[in-house]
Amino acid sequence: MRALALTHRSDGSLLRHLSALVAQDRRLTASVLAHLAEVDARRLYLPAGYPSMFAYCVEELHFSEDAAYKRIQAGRAARQFPVLFTALTEGRLHLAAICLLAPHLTCENAEELVAACTHRPKAEIERWLGDRFEFPRTPEPILTPPNLFPPNLPRGKLVSSRSRCRLLPHGSRCESFSTTRSCNTPGSY
């Protein structure tokens, strides 16, 4: 696609255009969240034949499950606390920050939490929220989980159905089984 070939652009032009696109993306994301929140509030997914906003986003809008969940959560929070729309549009908060803040926002603390998390990376916000709201620290695991595919397992495809499993030679195909999982590398599934 020639429109996406950028080799002809100068360094300065490329950086300016990228900044403009990011600003446009922030405005567009805020608008998408506002629309999702309004569709959700009006429950317009029901007459469209979907049992939930999540199903509508995944099946009708073709969002990934993760993208749907985050946008629904952020849209609901921003509809309740419009300062989030402003912070997102201005680039002070990113989508992950809004999702992290959402469960902790109240009318009394929304402005304060947004200010505290402005321009902060996700990991820093997670630590700050953990300290602020005294989340219990997750202890380090004592035991590591067992390797589901031992290293001595031959390379090939693990083919399974509800009642039977067998190992096929690498590259083989089996049409009679319902599930095929490649196990070409130990530990992958």
- Residue by residue, pLDDT tens for the chain (189 residues) are 577 889 999 999 999 999 999 999 999 999 999 999 999 999 999 999 999 999 999 999 999 999 999 999 999 999 999 999 999 999 999 999 999 999 999 999 999 999 999 999 999 999 999 999 986 655 555 555 555 445 554 544 444 444 444 444 444 444 443 443 444 444 443
Classified as helix, coil or strand, 166 is strand
DSSP run (H or E) holding 123: helix 122-132
Q: What angle in degrees, to the nearest 10, is found between the helix axes of 122-132 and 110-117?
A: 140
Sign of the CA dihedral 34, 38, 41, 44? Answer: negative
CB atoms within 10 A of CB 93: 28
Q: Are 45 and 56 in contact (CB under 8 A)?
A: yes
